[in-house]
Each structure stands twice: as C-alpha cells, then as structure tokens.
Structure 1
C-alpha cells in the first residue's frame, strides 16, 4: 500500500507531480510538488484541510483504515490556544457539503444525518472513546502552527492516529518541541511531512487502524544549503530512530511487502 518514494519536493528521490486533488493547496509542498501515487492507499481521499475558509495543511487520508497516511504542512510555531473539540470533514461524507471542517453535531443538525452516517466515511469521536495505552496523536501537530485558527484546524479526526501514550508524551513530544526547534533556525519555510505506517491492530471494533510506526521528514532551505532530516518510531516503544532517506525507503518497502 505504501510506495517507496514517499517524500515530496526536496525530500522526493524520484520525479514528483502535482496531484490534481491537492490543486487547491499545493503551497504546503516545496515548489508545489506533491508525492504523486507513491503513498496512495486503496481508498484514498486528498484533503486540503480547510477551517474558517482558509487552508491550513494537506492530508492524504485512508478511508479504509480511517486514519491519515500523511499530513503535509509548513512548520511555523507560534502562540495560540488548543482546541477542546475534534472536528470531521464534511466533504468526505458528501462532496456537496461545505468544505470547512466542523463538529459532528453541527453537521448532523445541518444535513439531518446521524454520527453513524458520518462514520461511514471517516473516524468519529466515538471511535476514540476508552483508549487504553493510546493517545490521540496529531500528524500535523498543533504546536507547529501559529494562531488559534491554525492550531484548531489540526484538531480534525482526519489528522488523528492512535499513538502509543508513552511515545506521544515522551520521545515524540521531545522531537516535536525540542528537536524541531533546534533544526530550523535560519530555515525559510520548513516543509514537513508526518506520516503513519499501517499496523496489524485496530480500535473501535476494527474500524480504526493503529499504526505500526510514526515517521516525520522535513526539508528547509537556508541561505547556504538545503537541509533534510528523517525520523521514525515504532508505535509501541518510546524510542526515535534517525534515518537517511534511502533507509526510510527501504523500511517502507519492507513494510509494504507484508
């Protein structure tokens, strides 16, 4: 399901193309170049994540697994409040619905549908009830955005994966908060792609896949060079591994063959 050439633009080792479904939000990929079909799942959805009529990041979503394959965004941490609500994507339910992410109750009332009908196209809040040893992990983290609206936009279920609690609160948190801050001074618009590798376990009666690995890749142009870095973590261990692009390709090739 996952291809070998996973990283867009300056992280892309082959020839990228502008995927038609990301035509409204190519700005979240370096030089507007997206990964093409390399990471395409069996039942994909390309989402330009829209909140308050603005696009904040881009997500390739796996409808079958009910989790994102990756989210792409520009790293720009800043002040703002976290959201208390998780939102869903109306246009996954019906392409004629409005494009702004919204709460389940608002969509249900507006279009006279049930949460169960919403859940036919994506994960819903009920899927994440009573998690054990798992957190609600963001692929596009709220801490990597600036301003209330951009931070709140990351609280969409199409950007959410079940992530090991110890990892989410431990090494992955250190990577998001400390390592990224250390690597990005002098960068011009650091471009990030954060992804999840499908695993063998599920939550919510096998509705939502629990990734086996979480990975992150970045590139940033400075005045003198182009810097890139890649990390990956098993989703049942509190440990992050630094990889080269070639090593990550090899890893994903092996996972795709299983």
Structure 2
C-alpha cells in the first residue's frame, strides 16, 4: 500500500512538472513570498492555475477564472528595467483548451495552423477579437515594464494576464502607480513580491463573453536581506482615473468586502501589515 502511495505521489509530481495549467502553483512557487500563494478565498468556482511559460522558462504565475474569462490575479517579482517594450503580439493559453502538445502560451494564428478551431479557443478564454471595437484596453496585471528581460516582457502579452481596463485609468493614474509610485515605494528593497488582480464586475463585453472588472488592485511585499520590511496596496475603480494608495491590511479588508468572502490574505500574514 505504501509503495502504491509513493508511486501515486511521484506521478503527481511528474505531472505538475510537465503541465503549465494544473491544480496548484507547485511548478512555480518562486513568484510568491515564502513560496505561498494567497489563501483560497480568492479562488473562483472554475479556476485554472497557470505557471506562465514562454520560450522554455516560467516568468510569473496567474490564477485564471475560466467562467468570467479573466485572470483573478498575477503574481511576480518586481524587476523593472528601462527600455522599449516589445512589439504587442498578444497570445493565448493552449492548455486551457485541453490536452495537447503545446506547453506554453502561443499566438492564435499558430494554433489555428495546427488544427485548433477559433471556436475551441474562444470557448476556454478571451481572445483578441473580444477586444476589437471596444472601449476597453487589454490591461496587464503583470506589467511589461516590471520585467527585467526581453523574454519576460514578451511573456506578459498573453490574454490570460489581461483584463478589460478603462483606457483613461490604464493610460493615467494606474500607469503612474506602476511607473512612479512603485519605484518610490521599492527604494531600498532587495526583493519585492507583487500580486495584482481584478474584482469581477456586473458588466460584460463581447456579447457577454468577457467580464469587465469593477476594480483593479495590487499588493506588494518588500524584503531587505530576505526579511519583510514593508508592504502596501493600491486599488482603483475601473470607471475612474483614480488610484488609492493604502496599506496591505486595508487592501485585504476592502477585497474581503468586494469579493464577499471571509478573510482574504494575500501574503499569508507573513509580510508586514504596516
């Protein structure tokens, strides 16, 4: 019996190492402080855990809401570098469609050339056509500008990392938060872990296929020499060009109310609540 359990455990580990869309973040815990993701309070009814893989490497992690066709959050290490963003070639996640030979994000056109149908892709996730002729931007949760190399920057351009975001907010105060506030707040930090997410709203776009979030939020945990030094949060209503800079504790309380769940913890109470 013990031998059978060991074999089952080994098979499970092998599967987690192979697949990028599985039932946990066991393949990519390095993007979370203490290697622990937020508690289960944020988990949607039909989730997908995605270790975002591009060109043979993991770059960040995303919890995806299959029913609403938007991510719940993306988690990453903050490593901004100056430089131009790559060409915007938005990709999708083949493994949300089902078992296949694609282990990483890919262009829709490539999948279609490999006998995937448009209907198959659309059923499992948002696609580029959903954003055509709309007033909503493809709003990054893990932003290109917070990545430190060309491959990681390209990896942020997948629709499993994007939500419909108010254009004035995306180009306005949310950009200020990403590009200025984060730089100021992370001065002196050795490592900063970030989790950025979106609260599902009551409205939809693209013939009610894709949920339009009511709020965009972000949380950060600053470490100095591997010890927590500070933490903070930010939240914005998705129909206004305003961002509130608040404490991590305040953000968790706000999210607990907005998601109508109990006791959301983003860093498992391991980071400073100042």
Give the alignment's TM-score, normalised by structure 1.
Answer: 0.88
Please tell me whether residue 22 in structure 1 is matched to residue 41 in structure 2: no
Q: Write the distance in 1 (CA, Å) between the matches of 2:150 and 2:223.
A: 27
Q: Write the distance in 1 (CA, Å) between the matches of 2:249 and 2:77.
A: 23
Task: Determine which of 83, 88, 92 is the counterpart of 2:87.
Answer: 83
Q: What SS is found at the alignment partner of 1:162?
A: strand
Per-residue deviation, 1:95: 2.9
1:57 alignment counterpart = 60
Per-residue deviation, 1:20: 5.6
Deviations 1:167-193 (A, max 9, x none): 111110000000111111221221000
Unaligned runs of 5+ in 2: 1-21, 262-274
8 A Cα contact 2:23 2:49, kept in partner: no
2:113 alignment counterpart = 109
Q: What SS is found at the alignment partner of 1:86?
A: coil
Relative to 1, partners in 2 of residues 1:225 and 1:125: Cα closer, same or farther, differing over 3 Å? closer
8 A Cα contact 2:64 2:73, kept in partner: yes
Aligned length in residues: 238
Relative to 1, partners in 2 of residues 1:81 and 1:256: Cα closer, same or farther, differing over 3 Å? closer
Q: Write the distance in 1 (CA, Å) between the matches of 2:58 and 2:164.
A: 24
Per-residue deviation, 1:248: 2.2
2:43 alignment counterpart = 40
Please tell me whether residue 221 in structure 1 is matched to residue 223 in structure 2: yes
Q: Write the distance in 2 (CA, Å) between the matches of 1:184 and 1:172.
A: 17
8 A Cα contact 2:222 2:230, kept in partner: yes
Please tell me whether residue 152 in structure 1 is matched to residue 154 in structure 2: yes
Relative to 1, partners in 2 of residues 1:80 and 1:148: Cα closer, same or farther, differing over 3 Å? farther
Deviations 1:47-102 (A, max 9, x none): 00000010000000000000000000000012453232100001111133321110
Relative to 1, partners in 2 of residues 1:225 and 1:72: Cα closer, same or farther, differing over 3 Å? closer
Deviations 1:225-253 (A, max 9, x none): 52101010000011111223332233223
Unaligned runs of 5+ in 1: 1-18
Q: Write the distance in 2 (CA, Å) between the matches of 1:247 and 1:128.
A: 33
Q: Write the distance in 1 (CA, Å) between the matches of 2:228 and 2:98.
A: 44
Task: Report the RMSD for the aligned CA atoms in angstroms.
Answer: 1.7
Please tell me whether residue 249 in structure 1 is matched to residue 252 in structure 2: yes
Task: Determine which of 170, 176, 179 is the counterpart of 1:177.
Answer: 179
8 A Cα contact 2:199 2:259, kept in partner: no
Per-residue deviation, 1:151: 0.4
Per-residue deviation, 1:141: 0.2
Q: What SS is found at the alignment partner of 1:38?
A: helix
1:212 alignment counterpart = 214
Give the alignment's TM-score, normalised by structure 2.
Answer: 0.83
Relative to 1, partners in 2 of residues 1:225 and 1:92: Cα closer, same or farther, differing over 3 Å? closer
Task: Determine which of 226, 239, 242 is the counterpart of 2:242.
Answer: 239
8 A Cα contact 2:85 2:144, kept in partner: no
